[in-house]
């Protein structure tokens, strides 16, 4: 399952504080609010998505659960293919905060910890970022043991309640007026003891494997976009839920186009005759189409021409950004004899009105020198 996470939707780092998340949400909510984008389905969908993300991350308890379990924290059945199901947010809340609040789930038995999240860096081209990509990656991770199905016990046997901590996974010791609680040294906090461990995983319930995973890259992703593969991280010990695999995308530098959000930029050199007389320029876009850009007569270097809808697609939405062509007027460096003669004739007919900026500059310069 491929999901863009809440932090990505709010354009925040996972370490962002509450104030930063709130500020980013307000900016995005104003940008995509339906009242400011009447009739735009893309803006409406994006507004709902960022609102959902903020509703989760503004609540410390929900955010902690999301950071640990991802989107599975708010779906019945947890992560789908994970080794353990969760009944809902209340169960996850207990799992995350139970040890701090004094409550313990499952009759006081310590919960097995979820597997670690993993990171995978993937490089893609700008064309792949434009169209999206279906691909496969190969990763070396710890996965549930097939022999014992992740229990850690030899097939046909099972773990027993730890007699040292009575299944709590914790032991307490009195130190003066204080009671210190720590993980049970016999069961290492699991609350259970495996007396006949699986020979393949040696009681861990997981083994190192090489896995090939299908990855769906949606159109419109940008540098640093994170794609989450739920439950494809490190397997939890002894049947605990697996972590998630985060794929961080890196977009290769393109030979022609530069990108800023959904806007594509390109610099296009044109001859000075085209700049003077005007014309039409055909630009091949990333969408595979040829976009004809009309060049008005008398255009100057640095002028930008916009081709609407020829930019990058909107991530998780509809529509595209714009293609912006920046004109660079090129002065010829090699002239034939005939061309030189024609230019000399043109110069002889110049009155100064042809280039008003040059005429204005020299007029101002004379005024400055004359002290006017």
CA R_g for the chain: 32
Distance (Å, rounded) from C-alpha 23 to C-alpha 29?
10
Distance (Å, rounded) from C-alpha 237 to C-alpha 207?
10
Q: Tell me how far CA of residue 147 lies from CA of 143, 152, 197, 303, 315, in angstroms.
A: 12, 9, 11, 68, 42
**61-82 burial code (b ≥16 CB/10 A, e <16):** ebbebbbbbbbbbbeeebbeeb
Kindly write down the DSSP assignment for every residue of 151-168, as one continuous string. Answer: S-BPTT---EE-TTTTTS
145 labeled part of a ligand binding site = yes
Strand partners, 263: 260
355 labeled part of a ligand binding site = no
201 labeled part of a ligand binding site = yes
40 labeled part of a ligand binding site = no
Strand partners, 248: 121, 226
**Residues ≥6 apart with Cβ < 8 Å to 87:** 76
56 labeled part of a ligand binding site = no
Kindly write down the DSSP assignment for every residue of 273-324, as one continuous string. Answer: HHHHH-EEEEEE-TTSPEEEEEE-TT--TT-EEEETT-SPBPTTSS-B--EE
Q: Which residue has the tokens 């955010």?
A: 63
Binding-site positions: 145, 148, 162, 165, 184, 187, 198, 201
Residues belonging to the binding site for Zn(2+) are 145, 148, 162, 165, 184, 187, 198, 201
């Amino acid at each position: 399952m491929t999901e863009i996470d809440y932090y990505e939707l709010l354009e925040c780092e996972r370490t962002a504080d509450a104030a930063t998340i709130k500020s980013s949400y307000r900016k995005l909510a104003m940008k995509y609010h339906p009242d400011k984008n009447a009739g735009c389905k893309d803006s409406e969908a994006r507004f709902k998505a960022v609102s959902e993300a903020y509703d989760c991350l503004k609540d410390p308890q929900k955010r902690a659960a999301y950071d640990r379990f991802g989107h599975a924290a708010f779906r019945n059945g947890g992560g789908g293919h994970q080794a353990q199901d969760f009944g809902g947010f209340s169960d996850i809340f207990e799992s995350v905060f139970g040890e701090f609040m004094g409550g313990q789930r499952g009759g006081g038995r310590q919960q097995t910890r979820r597997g670690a999240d993993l990171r995978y860096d993937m490089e893609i081209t700008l064309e792949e970022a434009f169209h999206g990509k279906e691909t496969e990656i190969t990763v070396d991770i710890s996965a549930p043991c097939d022999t014992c199905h992740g229990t850690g016990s030899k097939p046909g046997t099972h773990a027993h309640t730890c007699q040292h901590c009575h299944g709590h996974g914790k032991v307490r010791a009195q130190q003066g007026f204080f009671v210190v609680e720590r993980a049970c040294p016999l069961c290492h906090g699991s609350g259970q003891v495996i007396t006949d461990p699986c020979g393949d995983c040696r009681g861990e319930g997981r083994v190192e494997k090489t896995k090939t995973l299908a990855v769906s890259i949606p159109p419109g992703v940008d540098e640093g976009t994170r794609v989450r593969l739920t439950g494809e991280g490190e397997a939890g010990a002894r049947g605990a839920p697996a972590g998630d695999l985060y794929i961080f995308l890196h977009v290769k530098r393109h030979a022609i186009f530069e990108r800023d959000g959904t806007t594509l930029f390109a610099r296009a050199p044109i001859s000075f005759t085209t700049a003077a007389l005007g014309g039409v320029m055909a630009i091949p876009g990333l969408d595979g189409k040829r976009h004809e850009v009309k060049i008005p007569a008398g255009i100057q270097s640095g002028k930008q021409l916009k081709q609407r809808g020829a930019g990058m697609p909107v991530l998780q939405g509809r529509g595209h950004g714009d293609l912006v062509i920046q004109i660079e007027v090129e002065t010829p460096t090699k002239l034939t004899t005939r061309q030189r003669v024609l230019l000399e004739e043109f110069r002889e007919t110049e009155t100064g009105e042809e280039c008003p900026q040059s005429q204005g500059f020299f007029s101002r310069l004379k005024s400055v020198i004359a002290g006017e």
